[in-house]
């Protein structure tokens, strides 16, 4: 499969869902929210997870998964994951826009690093 120039196998979808669950658990535990996680707005947690916690590859795979598959079975098998995924499912255009910004920001950082490396090389030559 390919999405946003990322080529991946179908097995990566389950790995991405597991990564979301593991990262979510670690985030909630780190912030003392694990015991009463259902009392916090899942859409806020979702935005934090997708914007700040998950790596870009996982976010891209989850974007593809949300766009392509019916994930409603997660409501029974992984209820809190389902709640966290509801925000990107219901606000898919905003979710994609957030991902666009994240990818653009990463690309900008890569370009800055390339420019910095080139400047360092020029300074050493002088």
Buried b (16+ CB within 10 A) or exposed e, 113-122: eeeeeeeeee
pLDDT tens for residues 109-120? Answer: 888 888 888 777
Which residues, 6 or more positions from 38, have their beta carbon under 8 angstroms from its beta carbon? 80, 83
DSSP-derived secondary structure for 106-123: HHHHHHHHHHHHHHHHHH
State the pLDDT at residue 73: 92
Of 12-16, 53-57, 103-107, 122-126, where does mean pLDDT reach its minimum?
122-126
The CA-CA-CA angle for residues 103, 72, 28, to 5°, reads 60
Average pLDDT over the chain reads: 88
Q: Determine how many CB atoms are found less than 10 A away from the CB of residue 14.
A: 11
Which residues, 6 or more positions from 61, have their beta carbon under 8 angstroms from its beta carbon? 3, 6, 8, 12, 13, 15, 16
Percent of the chain predicted with pLDDT > 70: 98
Q: CA 103, CA 67: separation in Å to the nearest integer?
A: 18
State the pLDDT at residue 30: 93
Structure tokens at 36: 């009463």
Stated pTM of the model: 0.75
Across the range 84-101, mean pLDDT stands at: 87
Instruction: Please give the radius of gyration of the chain, using alpha carbons only, rounded to the nearest integer.
Output: 18
Residue corresponding to tokens 């080529």: 7
Percent of the chain predicted with pLDDT > 90: 36
pLDDT tens for residues 36-64? Answer: 888 888 888 998 998 889 998 999 999 99
Q: CA 98, CA 115: separation in Å to the nearest integer?
A: 26
């Amino acid at each position: 499969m390919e999405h946003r120039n990322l080529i991946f196998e179908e097995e990566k979808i389950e790995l991405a869902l597991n990564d979301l669950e593991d990262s979510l658990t670690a985030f909630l535990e780190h912030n003392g929210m694990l015991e009463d996680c259902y009392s916090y707005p899942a859409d806020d947690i979702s935005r934090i997870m997708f914007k700040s916690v998950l790596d870009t590859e996982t976010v891209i795979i989850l974007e593809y998964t949300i766009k392509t598959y019916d994930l409603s079975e997660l409501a029974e098998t992984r209820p809190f994951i389902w709640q966290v995924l509801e925000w990107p499912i219901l606000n898919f255009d905003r979710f994609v826009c957030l991902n666009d910004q994240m990818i653009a920001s990463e690309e900008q950082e890569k370009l800055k690093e390339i420019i910095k490396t080139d400047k360092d090389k020029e300074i050493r030559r002088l």
